[in-house]
Amino acid sequence: MTTIDPLPDTATPLFKDRLTESIMRHQIAYIVPTTSAARAYFKAQGTEFNVLDTSYMSPLPSVPVEGDVILDAYSDKTATPLFIGCRSIRNKEGHSFWETIKTPAKLKSLAIDTAQKHRLKGAWSLTVDTQHNLTGIHAFITPEMALYRAIGVNFILLMLHEARGNSVSVLATDMPARAQTIFPYKTSLTTKYKTVFLDLDDTLITHGSINKTAMAFIHQCKEKAIPVYLITRHYRDPEITLHEYGVNAALFKGIIWITDDTPKSAHIKNAPEPIFIDDAFSERQEVGMSIKVPCIAPDALEALMIKS
């Protein structure tokens, strides 16, 4: 992560020059505005900067009102929701936290109708009251949306792919997620599992180094007597690579080295209560759609290790 020198206020004449200088120096490809002032500024600038922000056509309510439940959604370029999540504030032992909850059919319909009515494209959220009446529309990304990263939904990454002309889809894991309501938003996942299938390339080993979080998770599983299988399409015998990186192959219940086009789901389907961890969306999609098991990206491993 690179820290950029503070910029002057958007209302000052120096802001544009300083921003342009920072973009050039740090080779910034896209800007994500996170305040109403920043969003207003970049809307006024038109297409001069590459900005990732939610767009809409018809006017939105000017003063959103807080609600009891919040719907977070992502719509593609046709204003069709690809993901609709639901969260609510819970209290436990004096602590407040956001928790994902099942989205009622009525609220899904409300989100779809709202997206089409206002032509919402990108990340956005709705607030509703206890009677499921709409109380506000927020056409932007909020920090609390990071809660969904743990279940496989990265709103900024979706917007980035669409900005680059790529088609997008969403594969959300059906697991409850919690995040504390104060910064830093520490997220935890709640799920029961008896077997783990873990990928090698870009999951256990990333950018030429061992993924320390993945190793900690493996050791945690070992302490709980939960078997971990390494499942990989590695270019050579995985044990050779594990040895080179100082990873004891005995940490794994077994090593599944796939050297043909056999889907990974074929090696997982008969395991008791499995979860599947892989960096590749295509692999998670194949397993998730074929045998309906929780599929988790490596960046959610820390959330899986935190006690909720």
The answer to whether 249 and 255 are in contact (CB under 8 A) is yes
Which structure tokens are listed for 52? 């990732």
pLDDT tens, residue order, the chain (308 aa): 677 788 888 888 888 999 999 999 999 999 988 888 888 888 888 888 899 999 998 778 766 666 779 999 999 999 999 999 999 988 877 778 899 999 999 999 999 999 999 999 999 999 998 888 899 999 998 888 989 999 999 999 999 999 999 999 999 988 889 988 877 778 898 888 999 999 999 999 999 999 999 999 999 999 999 999 999 999 999 999 999 999 999 999 999 999 999 999 999 999 999 999 999 999 999 999 999 999 999 999 999 997 75
**Fold of the CATH domain 191-305:** Rossmann fold (3.40.50)
Closest listed residue to residue 197, CA positions, set 181, 214, 185, 180: 214
Q: Which pTM was predicted?
A: 0.86
Smallest Cα–Cα separation from 72: which of 59, 85, 90?
A: 85
CB 300 within 8 A of CB 171: no
Q: Is 132 exposed, middle or buried (0-12, 13-18, 19+ CB in 10 A)?
A: middle
- Looking at residue 44, its pLDDT comes to 87
Structural contact between residues 175 and 187, judged by C-beta atoms closer than 8 angstroms: no
Torsion sign over Cα 87, 79, 150, 108: positive
Q: By C-alpha distance, which of 179, 189, 115 is closest to 125?
A: 115
Task: Please spell the DSSP secondary structure of 210-246, one letter per residue.
Answer: E-HHHHHHHHHHHHTT--EEEEE--SS-HHHHHHHTT
pLDDT of 186 reads 83
Per-residue burial over 206-222, b if 16 or more Cβ lie within 10 Å, else e, is eeeeebebbeebbeebe
Tell me, what's the pLDDT at 11?
A: 82
CA-closest candidate to residue 134, choices 146, 147, 148, 124: 124
CA distance 265 to 268: 5
- For the beta sheet containing 295-296, the strands, ordered from the edge strand earlier in sequence to the opposite edge, are 254-257, 228-232, 195-198, 274-277, 295-296
How far apart CA 288 and CA 268 sit, in angstroms, is 11
**What is the residue extent of each domain of the chain?**
1-51, 69-188, 191-305
Query: CA–CA separation, 215 vs 51, rounded Å?
Result: 37
Structural fold of domain 69-188: D-amino Acid Aminotransferase; Chain A, domain 1 (3.30.470)
Instruction: Compute, in degrees rounded to 10, the torsion defined by CA atoms 92, 96, 99, 104.
Output: 90
d(CA 198, CA 200): 7
Task: Give the span between the Cα atoms of 258 and 170, in whole angstroms.
Answer: 26
Q: Within 10 Å of residue 248's Cβ, how many Cβ atoms?
A: 8
Contacts 24+ apart (CB under 8 A), 12-19: 15/41, 19/49
Q: Residues 6 or more apart from 227 whose CB is under 8 A from it? A: 194, 195, 196, 221, 253, 254
Residue-level pLDDT at 209: 96
